[in-house]
Each structure stands twice: as structure tokens, then as C-alpha cells.
Structure 1
């Protein structure tokens, strides 16, 4: 072994010794390396012992230094520099960001931890439990040792509720049928606390506005039998009289122009408007009264309940018109057990303008920038209507790829008018925490694809958006109209149409007249869950009413509106995502998408803008955008000098991605994507494109790794991917795993795909 090798081994040994963390432990102290917890096997079942072990492990403090294979790199980096005077710079970063101070045995309070452990097991019904604590020294290290003898767990023998005749006691007795405290179940202090909270919440629904859970007492008698307890639910003697009373709603006052900076209620002369059960006090009638009648759910004479209280506040907030919402309930002194309700509302500025510049990417591997100018009027017709007028202009380009040089320029505008209520000939109501919206939209976009063509698109829609709760949302466009036409078609594009006639449909005039509906369910906003899901289902129907009126039933002789054949089809698309959270910083995200479109009557195929595409930055990342399928058709063999738009009537796609935090803002990912698209009918131009039922044998599969730079306001994503399976290759040769050769420049050029995008793929 050479001298250099000995030197390397010496430094490696020094590093490993330093990583053990004991080199600079103060004299007379020891490095605390954790604890050993033993739950002695007794009469408690294995599941109970396992749950107690897990809970107690989390309660014991302090936590030892992080260890990797017996080494503690955090202590090593902490000891690199003895003293750091500045709270910034490289030394500070190494010592306090990479490093961590050693946890010393002198900082471990064994008796305190013993009390914590003993208290926890007693709260779980093990009143006779014993906890023994000790420590074990191993060289310069020390370990705490906790032995817990559970003995017998006490069970609930009986639950006694208040028996006196006052109204509050009677209401509490009505709740005992669904009580969480069941005879025969183990005693559990946490469960008792939960039961108090449950009873308080139910009483709030029954008019007991001033009651709270601290007014309830649950006494425990453990002397009644062997390892059993009686629970006595009692109302404390010293609770206020108001807490015993049931209240109803009397007067409802609304102050729509309340100013937090000054007491506008008392210092300004107000106009008073009475509308239904409401008294609206305003200085200039900024809002029409009916908007509050539709938003506030309490009526005069209603029994107070917390649900209606919260729903009304949420509906006021989700109107999007008020900056601050404040609510008070006061006892009406002239009427017994009645509450007057006050809503103090501070409006947002009525009109605003916003200018923003955004960076964006799309699934076709285009990146670019866009300038948006948005003007808003939040109370257009004094009914909290939102009028929003937007104008935009942008540029998209491919830095590298098959479409490099074919830039896309876009400009246009959109007008949205949103009414915070249902506008319909039919009676439609919503009692959720979210105000339902009626939305009308008109938009225009001009898109210029340099060297190819330009498209003009007009859109109009009228529909409804409503949420049942924060998880469930419905979006119905009862009327959806789209018209697209092209001009400035280049000779280059015309020459490509001659080689690939399917490109003609991109520039054909299209007229869509129909209805769309989507339903979304998600619980991804809920934190600290192991599992989160997202689901969206969408239905798109076009040309049904026109088809009936005009008798359209032959795609070879289509009926027209304004000289343009209208599209007739049905389309369904479903997306499901699942997020499994291993920890705060590590997550397994998965997605599956299924789509199907059926043209009929007036159409032989779906409109181009409604067809399915696959591949690209947020799809199957190992293949370029829109370069897969349909079926086993190989679009790469066409003579197009730019990316072919390969589309289909059916789509199946799924992805899974393991995400983990690497360092602060940097997150890493390993992913696998798969999928394809198909046609419903044979195509002479695209052999192998028809769906044959052999979908598993015709899937494209790719994998790769990526980095995500999360700046909170922006996530910059980079992915490097390569194919594992190419569906357009002959049967038996579609898996290309054996061909992977990162050292071969030709293989890298053909197979390695770099994706740059903004945001997560799903």
C-alpha cells in the first residue's frame, strides 16, 4: 500500500472518529445517545403496548443527535470551528446549519421524564403502573433506560349523566346515546376530553351560546370495583347563569361600510334599511340589501347554532368583497333569552388594477413570459358582482428541441362577470360555507406561430360554480361556445400537410356549441395526514341540441352554422392523484388519467383542440411533447421539420414520483411515467393507431430524476428522463432497458430528455 493510501486511510479514520461525537465532550460529562424503553409484557394486549411505546417514545426529551451508522456528522461539523463570532458567513453556516451541538447527559432530567411516562400511562387507565428509570454508561456515551410495568388497565363500569330538571341537564342527557364513553371500554383521559368537546359542540348547535366545555366536569371513582371506574358527568356549580340558557336570534344588524380606523357606527349619520329580517345600517347604500339576505343564514326566531354562525361568516368572506368581517352577539335586555346579531363589514377598494409579469411553461416543452393587465370592479351593480377585464401578451419559445425557432406569440383579452348567487329560471340554493357563483365569460386570443400559421379563437360561456365545502367543487358551463379560424398559413406548413394530411385539422375552422361539467374533490389542504387525494372528473358535450334542431346525423354531409360545420361529440376525462406522506419532507405522489372522446352525428372526429395529447414536461417526461402514439404509430418517422401534433380519441396515463427534501429550498425526485393515446377508428395515415385492447403492450414507459427549487412563491423544476419502453418498436423489442448507455453520446442525444418547467407536474 502506497504512502498516499496510508494518508487517506488516516484521514478517513480521523473523520469517522470525529463523527462519533465524543472527541470534545466536556470532562465529567457524557454524550447522550438516546433511551431504551421497555414495556413489560403483562395483561395489556400487544396492540395497546405498541401504541403506548410509540406515544411515550415521542414524549421523552431531549432527542439525541442524529446518527447515521453510528456516526454523528452533525457534531463533527459543529466541532470544526471552536468559536464563531459572527452570526453569518461560512463558519456560522458550517457550525450551526450543517452542525448541531452535542446533546449531553447532564441535560437529561431522568426524574422529569419518569413523571411524564407515568402520567401518560395513568391517563390511559393503568393506575397501578410502575416506572423505573436508570442510565447506562458505555465509554463516553450514556443511554437512559425506562422500564414500565403496566399491570391492569381500568375499564369503564358506568357513566352517569346529570339527573336534575334544569334545561341544560336535559339537553346533556339527550347527547348520551352517542357518547364516546362506553361501558366496558378502557379508561382514557384523552377520550374524556374529546367527549367534553363533543358535548360542548352539540350544545352550541342547540342554542347554548355562552356554554363552554370547561363548564363540564367528569369525576372518576376507581373504588367501585376491581380495576373498574365509574364516570360521573356533572355541570360545575359556579357556571354563569347565561351558560345555562338557550338563546334564539332576535335582531340582525349589518354595517356594510364599517371602518376599522374609526367607529363609524357612532360617529357618522347612517341610513337604516329594513329588508326581510335584516336591519342594514349604511352611510351611502353601497350594497343592495338582497345580497345580505342571500349570504346570511340566520333568520329571526332561529335557535342559535354554531354551524350557521360559522357558515354565515365564511360566506361573507368568500364573497370576495370585504377586507375584514367582524361578528358579535349581544343579549337583548328587553326580550328574555334572545341574541341580537351584529355584522361589521369593511369593504375592499371597489376598483383596482393589477399588472403582472409571469414566467410559464407548457406540456409542449415551450417556455416563455407573459404580461397581464387586470382591471377589477368588486361591486359592479351594488350586488357584490365582480367584473374583471384582462389583457395579455406573451412569447413562448423552445430553447432546445424539435420546435426550436418556431416561436409562439400570443395576445388577447378576457372579460368575466361573476354574480355571487345563482341566476337561473329554476330555483337554486346553497347552504354551504361558500357563496355560489354565476359566471359569464367572453374572450379572444390571437396566436401566431412563426413560420407556420396564426389562429384566432373566440370563446363565450355562461355557467355556475359552487362548493359544497372546502373539499368538493362543481363547475357547470350550461352554455359553452368556441370558434377558431386560421390565416397566414405558410408554404412550409402547407408542404407538411401534403406529407401528413392530419395536420390540416389544426388550421380548419372549428365551431363548438355545448355544455361542460366538472367535479373536483381534494383534501390536499389538510396537513399532517399520511394520505391525501385529489380527484377531478369532467364531461364535455357539444352539438347535441344543434344536432337535434338541424337533423345532423351524417358526418359526410355535415350541417353548418354561419358556414362552419359544428362539432358534435361527447368527451369524458378523469384524473386521480394520491399523495403518501412518509414524513414532512418525503412524499410519494402518484397520478392516473383516463380520457375518452366519441365523435358522432355531425363529426367524424373530435375537434383538434379537444383531442388528447401525451408526452412533455408534465406528462411522460422521457418523450418529447405530443410525440407518443397514437397506438404503435411512430410519428418520429414523419417528414415534419417541426414537432408533429399527434393526437387521439382515448388516453391512459399514469405516473409515480418519490419526492424528498435534499437541502432547504432544494428537493429531489425519482419518477416513472407511462401511458399512450389511441384512435377509435382506423387511419390509413397512421397505421397501428386504432385501439385494439392490447393497451398494456402499447404503453410508453419512461423514468428519470429531477430537482425542484422551491422559492415559496415559485417552484422551478428540472427533470432529466429517458425511455424504458418505446411502443412504436416491433413486438418483442419495445423494452429498451438493455440499450441504456449513458457513456454513448449517440444514445444520449436520442434518448435523454431535459425538461425545464415551473411548478410540480401534479
Structure 2
């Protein structure tokens, strides 16, 4: 009965969408679209296809959206009840979900003909004629535009007019960069882009007041043979200020500028400030700094400002200076102006007005959390920050935190976690090094110093002390490329207590032993990130690669070799020696205005050698959870085909590996309002490089692809603008620790079975997208 009901509804919808025209008034016709018909044999197939595509993109209005020839949005508009209100469900259904009919009378055919003719001429088809015809049947109408172009004109010569002035000479020197190429088709858009290019080039040579409208490109179509000569020149009526380059006379910084005061009025009334009468000083670059409260060290502006006395005005340096001042994070408002010097010709005084942020802040955070590993708990964070710690725009942050997590999966109270710790970070807005570092990026390079400590208590198991520290640099080449290099990255882990219960279980389990062994890790760490996801475009990518080294140099110099019984120690602790690399690649394919296909590939490997036989536990790979393979709980999958259910004990053990592979694909689409939906598939696993008796099946081999776990699911994303609240429901369709031949379990899927749901469905709740 239910199936018949659904078939009936679907059939009714199809029939109704086919009869949208019955809602039209007498004499009205539904506009179904337009077609461009190129007539003539003077154009090549490539030219015809390009012109046809370009002209069709100019046609308006667009017909009602259709899917497989049906127009469901128009149907909803037609059947939805009328309402006088501009809000409410009826209004939303009719005008937001539905779509008003586009009628033939809405099409201005004569206007579109003029658009077609003008556009064709702008593409070099100077002799074009067009007409149109309307094909109408059963209250449906289509407009066909017949376009008959002649030969396309091409560029014969490009002449840069040089009348011996500094301006025309500067323009002529850019001829080798010109977008106007001999032999290329005439194109008005390219001419417009050429004017913008010339203006941009001049802005880097001091011509502050010049603009693209001062350029004139004359077209000479009398040369014959379907060619035109283009003459690039400066308009005769160009303002005198635009014809001269400007240099910088003074750079003046108001470091504590107050908004909404009479300071602005006073400054504008007297442009030439008498710096001898106010409390000011100059830094090493000759920049005048007005800082009555002595808030900042003068050196801060050496790194942020690119202008100094005598420099030629350059728009690139101007933008770099503004971007760097903003990226310092110390100033709430940044603005500048260039004022013509009263006493000198073609010289600027550059003023920068900076309004500082509040330097100090104190924030208390309370977090409640749950994760797919079977834990629920909360955390309390007290954070203090200072944006100008040493009066050089340094950012210092200190945080103290404490939290607990109760195990709600497995055996209760067997492995609850209590944590308390602190973190200290200091960011300098410059590179502190024995060598000189120069960056032309708009982003301020930073030196980072970090210290941390955490005390962790896993009840009935063990307690650990974790000390960490690092010194390194963060810098961006541009908005897409970022580098992070920690010259020194140190981590020291030492146990305080180990319970008898844990000792008994780790006696024959090497993985459990490594969790509580003393670990000393030190060495450099490098990460590179490339992304263009912040730039509006159809497709975008994200890539992050990292290289982690520990104990390599000292291990090589000391000849450490644990396999030969020659293990070295520092302060009584055997240090770790390994190489680890990880790579995360993501590709986002835009399918529609509010839909996309997001894919991710993650791969990593860690190799211990010299002073270490195994990778330290804290540096191994883990898989599963809300941001990984969502059909498996966090850290419960792998390594390889090892079955975690066979492990004896009263607590959930973390599964780790030296090799990681992960593949994810997710379709994201808009449902309604702030609700988005997704369907996804995740696959992957971790493996060990070495064979471990306590983890049978966990070693990497040529059959690794037979040990990939696969999960599928669907979820909702609630977009609150400031955050994305995400729920994902997933279940496994391939389990690597099942017997070979039975790892795919499609045949076992039974949503109606309560026990199957309890054993297989995993609900993930998280903030933000998984990737």
C-alpha cells in the first residue's frame, strides 16, 4: 500500500509539472529559453562555437529552472496559496522555494538584438546583422536569434605614442608587457584590461593621481585586410598632477590615534605639522613617530612600513605597509593618507593613523564535550593575553586549564581521565635569528616561543607528567602559502604512578608498555600549507605536508644503535630517534551554488631507527572518530587486521600505527534555512612497520589494501555563521578484522534490528566540517 501511495504521488507531481501552462492567463506564453543561431561560412567552427557560447551568456532573462524538462519550482509557485504577508510559511513556500513564471512578454527582443550586435562588434565582428523569430506552441515560446557576422578583425599594429614626456616614456617602456598582441582578434575587454595594466604599472612608479580613464586607445580600421591598428596614448585633458611621479618627503605615524576627536579636524586644518612642537621621535629609517604615552618601541615600524624619505611612491609598498600594520593584530583601526607637501613640488607627506586595540584581556571558557571513543566530560580554561607584551606588538598568551572525561563506553569507572595543565606562548612580529631575514609578504613573519605542562591521571591505570617546549618561526609567502619551522621542538613524558592492574596487562603487551615509558623527543619540525579555499572559484584545494625529526644529528654523531645494544641516554632517559612525515590533500569540487563534493587523501609514515626500535606512542598515527573514519570510534581501529575485541582487560585500549592511509569523500548540499546535509564514505587504516606479537595482523604488507576499513553515513550541518554544528550518523560496510571473504558486510545491514543498530550505528557530534 505504501509503495502504491508513493508511486501515485510521484505520478501526480510529474503530471502537474507538465501542466504548468494551465495556470497562465489568456494570451500569455511561458518563456522556455533562447537560442543563438550563427549564420554564414566566413567563420571557423572554433570561432562559431566561441561566439555562440559568449552570446548565449548575455541573454536575459533566464527561463524557469528545469530538471529533466520539468519545472518543480514553478509548480510549487503555482500550487502554493496566495498570501498578503511578506513572511511566514506560505510566503516562504511560494516565493522562496517556488519560482515566479518567466513569460514571453518579459523578454525585450529588440534590446537583446542590440546587445548581440554590440557584443559582436566588441569581439571584432564589425559588420554584423541579426534578426529573431519566436517559436510558440501550447503556450510555450522560445526565441531564436539569427546572427550573421562577417570576418573577425585582428590587430595589425600596436603603437605606443611617445611625445617625449616622462609619462608617455614610462608607458612606452611597458610595451613588452602589453596585453595587445599583433595577430590577436580585436577585443574591447582586452583593451579595457590593458588600460588597467598600464595604470597598475604606473602606480608602482610614483604616478599616484593617474587612473585608467586617462588612457586612450584609438582604433584605425582603414588599414584593410580585416585588420586594425591600435594607438595607445594619453588623453589631452589629463590632469597635470596625474602626469608627474611623486616621492615621499616625510613618513609620520600617529601611534595612539583616537577616533571621533578633534585631532582629525586639527590635522586637516594644518597639513604641515610642526613636529618640533609635539612629542615625537624618529626611528632608524627616519620615520617620525608620535607616541605621547610611549606605548610602542620605534623598531616596530621599521618592519611594518615600507616607505621612507626619498622613496618613489609605490602602490605595492603602500598596500604592504597597510597589510602589515593590520596583521600585527595590535591595532583596531589602520588608515593612511598622502598629503602633497606645501613647500615641495611632487612630494608627499605620508600619514598613518593607528588606533590600538585593548592590549590585555582575560577570558574564562567552559567546555562540555563528548567523543566517539566513549568519553564525556568538561574542561575549564582561564586565558590571559597581552597584545603588546614588550611594547613591540608581541602577543603573549597564558592559559591554565583543567578537565575530566568519564568513560561511558565499555566498563564504567575503569579508565576515567583527569587533566590539569598550563600553556605559555609568545609571538614576536619579526624573525629573531643571527641572519637577516627579508620578506616582501603582506603577512608579518613571526618568531614563536612555547612552553607547556600537563598532568594526566587515568584512574586505576597510570599518571603522567608531560613537559613541552618549542622555538621556531611562522611566515607566509602570500595568502596561499604558509611555512612553519620549529628549530627546536622538545617533549618529555614521564610516569608518576602505574597501577598494579595496568602492570599486569602491559606485561605481555608491548603497546601498553610504550604508553607509560619515559619519552624524550627533541628535534626540528617543519610544516608547509598551501590552500586557495579562501578565493572564490569553482574548484579549490588544500594541502599540508609536515616533516618531524627527532634525535637525528646526536644519534648519528654518537653512533647510537639500540638493535646492537648501544642505546644512548640524556639525563638518564633514552631519547627517541625517528623520521616522520604526513601529507593531507583535499579537493573541493563546486557542483552548484550551495553544493559541493569534498574529497581528502591522508598519508603518513614514521620510521624509528638508531637509538629507537619503535616510534614513541605520542608520535604514532591514530584513526577513527568524528574527523576521520566516522563509522569507527576514535582510536579503536587497526593496526591492520588486528581484532581489538580480542584484547583482554577492563578498559578500552588506544590502537596506533606507524603508517596511516585515509580516504574520504563527502557530498554537501543545502536543505533549507540554516540546515545543510551530507552523505559520505570514509576508508583507511593504520599499520605497524615492525611485527608485534601482541598485535597479530598489524604489520604492513603488500596485502594492505585488503585491510582497509570502509564506513558510510549521512549527516546534518547547522550553519550558525559563527560556527558549524555537525551531526553524522555512520556505520561500517567493511571491517578489516573480520575473516577474509566476510569483511564486506552489506548483507548484514538491517536498520530494523535493534541489536544491529546498537552494534553498528555511530553518532558523531562535532563543531566544524571534518575536512
TM bucket normalised to smaller: over 0.9
Q: Does 1:526 align with 2:526?
A: no
How do residues 36-185 of structure 1 correspond to structure 2 at under 5 angstroms? Answer: 36-40=35-39, 42-185=41-184
Q: Does 1:445 align with 2:454?
A: yes
**CA apart distance, 1:47:** 3.5
**CA apart distance, 1:44:** 3.0
Q: Kindly provide the CA deviation profile for residues 79-129 of structure 1, in whole angstroms up to 9, marking residues without a partner as x.
A: 445431333322222222222222222222222222222222221111222
Change in 2 beyond 3 A, CA 1:102/1:401: farther
Change in 2 beyond 3 A, CA 1:77/1:733: closer
Q: Kindly provide the CA deviation profile for residues 649-675 of structure 1, in whole angstroms up to 9, marking residues without a partner as x.
A: 122222222222222322222323222
Question: Matched residues in 1 for 2:412 and 2:128: separation?
Answer: 73
Question: Matched residues in 2 for 1:5 and 1:700: separation?
Answer: 38
Question: Matched residues in 2 for 1:664 and 1:676: separation?
Answer: 37
- Which residue does 1:275 correspond to in 2? 283
Change in 2 beyond 3 A, CA 1:189/1:598: same
Change in 2 beyond 3 A, CA 1:402/1:154: farther
| Structure 2 counterpart SS, 1:49 | helix
**CA apart distance, 1:613:** 1.2
How do residues 695-710 of structure 1 correspond to structure 2 at under 5 angstroms? Answer: 695-710=704-719
Q: Kindly provide the CA deviation profile for residues 48-74 of structure 1, in whole angstroms up to 9, marking residues without a partner as x.
A: 433333333332222222223443332
Aligned with residue 685 of structure 1, among 694, 700, 703: 694
CA RMSD of aligned residues (A): 2.9
Q: Does 1:540 align with 2:548?
A: yes
Question: Matched residues in 1 for 2:247 and 2:168: separation?
Answer: 19
**CA apart distance, 1:290:** 0.9
**CA apart distance, 1:396:** 4.3
| Structure 2 counterpart SS, 1:709 | strand
**CA apart distance, 1:701:** 2.7
Mean Cα deviation higher: 719-728 or 304-313: 719-728
| Structure 1 counterpart SS, 2:318 | helix
Change in 2 beyond 3 A, CA 1:89/1:583: closer
Mean Cα deviation higher: 222-231 or 722-731: 722-731
Whether contact under 8 Å (1:360, 1:758) holds in the other structure is no
- Which residue does 2:485 correspond to in 1? 476
- Which residue does 2:273 correspond to in 1? none
Question: Matched residues in 2 for 1:416 and 1:574: separation?
Answer: 26
Question: Matched residues in 1 for 2:75 and 2:675: separation?
Answer: 23
**CA apart distance, 1:244:** 1.0
Whether contact under 8 Å (1:315, 1:433) holds in the other structure is yes
- Which residue does 1:35 correspond to in 2? 34
Question: Matched residues in 2 for 1:760 and 1:398: separation?
Answer: 25
Whether contact under 8 Å (2:77, 2:93) holds in the other structure is yes
Question: Matched residues in 1 for 2:503 and 2:347: separation?
Answer: 78
Question: Matched residues in 2 for 1:7 and 1:547: separation?
Answer: 71
**CA apart distance, 1:221:** 2.1
Question: Matched residues in 2 for 1:536 and 1:642: separation?
Answer: 34
Whether contact under 8 Å (2:371, 2:765) holds in the other structure is no
Q: Does 1:224 align with 2:227?
A: no
Q: Does 1:391 align with 2:390?
A: no
Change in 2 beyond 3 A, CA 1:34/1:612: same
Change in 2 beyond 3 A, CA 1:8/1:672: closer
Question: Matched residues in 2 for 1:144 and 1:367: separation?
Answer: 64
- Which residue does 1:716 correspond to in 2? 725
**CA apart distance, 1:498:** 4.4
Question: Matched residues in 2 for 1:636 and 1:481: separation?
Answer: 35
Mean Cα deviation higher: 69-78 or 415-424: 69-78
Question: Matched residues in 2 for 1:410 and 1:6: separation?
Answer: 57
Mean Cα deviation higher: 689-698 or 642-651: 689-698
- Which residue does 1:594 correspond to in 2? 603
- Which residue does 2:469 correspond to in 1? 460
Q: Does 1:604 align with 2:603?
A: no
**CA apart distance, 1:595:** 1.1
Question: Matched residues in 2 for 1:544 and 1:409: separation?
Answer: 34
Question: Matched residues in 1 for 2:186 and 2:444: separation?
Answer: 44
- Which residue does 2:235 correspond to in 1? 236
Whether contact under 8 Å (1:367, 1:757) holds in the other structure is no
Change in 2 beyond 3 A, CA 1:484/1:214: same
Whether contact under 8 Å (1:403, 1:643) holds in the other structure is no
Q: Kindly provide the CA deviation profile for residues 526-583 of structure 1, in whole angstroms up to 9, marking residues without a partner as x.
A: 11x2321111111111123554676643365643334332222221111111112223
Mean Cα deviation higher: 517-526 or 291-300: 291-300
Normalising to structure 1: TM-score of the pair?
0.92
Whether contact under 8 Å (2:508, 2:694) holds in the other structure is no
Change in 2 beyond 3 A, CA 1:352/1:103: same
Q: Does 1:553 align with 2:561?
A: yes
- Which residue does 2:672 correspond to in 1? 663
Q: Kindly provide the CA deviation profile for residues 381-419 of structure 1, in whole angstroms up to 9, marking residues without a partner as x.
A: 111111111233344456667889854443322111111
Q: Kindly provide the CA deviation profile for residues 262-318 of structure 1, in whole angstroms up to 9, marking residues without a partner as x.
A: 143676973110223211122222111111012111232222221111111111110
Change in 2 beyond 3 A, CA 1:33/1:718: same
Q: Kindly provide the CA deviation profile for residues 24-46 of structure 1, in whole angstroms up to 9, marking residues without a partner as x.
A: 32333222222233234643333
**CA apart distance, 1:495:** 4.5
**CA apart distance, 1:647:** 1.1
Change in 2 beyond 3 A, CA 1:450/1:140: farther
**CA apart distance, 1:236:** 0.4
Q: Kindly provide the CA deviation profile for residues 404-456 of structure 1, in whole angstroms up to 9, marking residues without a partner as x.
A: 98544433221111111111222223221111111111122233444544433
**CA apart distance, 1:636:** 2.7
Change in 2 beyond 3 A, CA 1:101/1:490: farther
**CA apart distance, 1:587:** 1.5
Change in 2 beyond 3 A, CA 1:64/1:266: closer
Q: Does 1:761 align with 2:770?
A: yes
Question: Matched residues in 1 for 2:24 and 2:638: separation?
Answer: 64
| Structure 1 counterpart SS, 2:179 | coil
Change in 2 beyond 3 A, CA 1:534/1:359: farther
Normalising to structure 2: TM-score of the pair?
0.91
Gaps spanning 5+ residues in structure 1: where?
none
Mean Cα deviation higher: 483-492 or 60-69: 483-492
- Which residue does 2:272 correspond to in 1? none
- Which residue does 2:662 correspond to in 1? 653
Whether contact under 8 Å (2:35, 2:56) holds in the other structure is no
- Which residue does 2:307 correspond to in 1? 298
| Structure 2 counterpart SS, 1:59 | coil
Whether contact under 8 Å (1:365, 1:617) holds in the other structure is no
Whether contact under 8 Å (2:490, 2:523) holds in the other structure is yes
Question: Matched residues in 2 for 1:643 and 1:39: separation?
Answer: 71
Whether contact under 8 Å (2:16, 2:75) holds in the other structure is no
Question: Matched residues in 1 for 2:523 and 2:732: separation?
Answer: 39
Change in 2 beyond 3 A, CA 1:142/1:508: same
- Which residue does 2:623 correspond to in 1? 614
Change in 2 beyond 3 A, CA 1:369/1:214: farther
| Structure 2 counterpart SS, 1:23 | helix
Change in 2 beyond 3 A, CA 1:402/1:116: farther
Question: Matched residues in 2 for 1:402 and 1:231: separation?
Answer: 83
| Structure 2 counterpart SS, 1:310 | helix
| Structure 2 counterpart SS, 1:458 | strand
